[in-house]
Structures are given as C-alpha cells and as structure tokens.
Amino acid sequence: KALLKRSEVIASAFTQKLLTYALGRDLQHYDMATVRDIVHNSVNSDYQFSEIVLGIVNSLPFKMRRTDS
C-alpha cells in the first residue's frame, strides 16, 4: 500500500535507471526533463513498463546517443 501511494516516485526512479542503462552513461541534469516527460506520459497507463520503454526509445537522448559502430 505504501508503494502504491508513491507510484510516481517509483516510476521516476525506475525510468532513471532504465534510461541510464539504455544510454550507456550516467544521467546528467539535462536528462531529468526527459525522465519527467516519460513519467508524465505514462500516468494514464498506470506506469506500464511498455509505456516507459516506448518513452525511452522515442526520447531525444536515446535517439541521439553515440554508438561504437
């Protein structure tokens, strides 16, 4: 019950960790706007995992990341 009362905080922490993994680097202060947008856009779906993943994949930081190719 305690976790359900703080769903947005849990979703934000989860999104930060997943975005860190997806980008292959630590998040910077300018990445937090992206995290907030992803969490905000996933509210209507009750923070479904798939909505958060789609938010990350469609985010500017993910699209602009550098690869070793």
Is the Cα dihedral 69, 33, 11, 2 positive or negative? positive
**pLDDT tens series, the chain, 69 aa:** 777 788 999 999 999 999 999 999 999 999 999 999 999 999 999 999 999 999 999 999 999 987 766
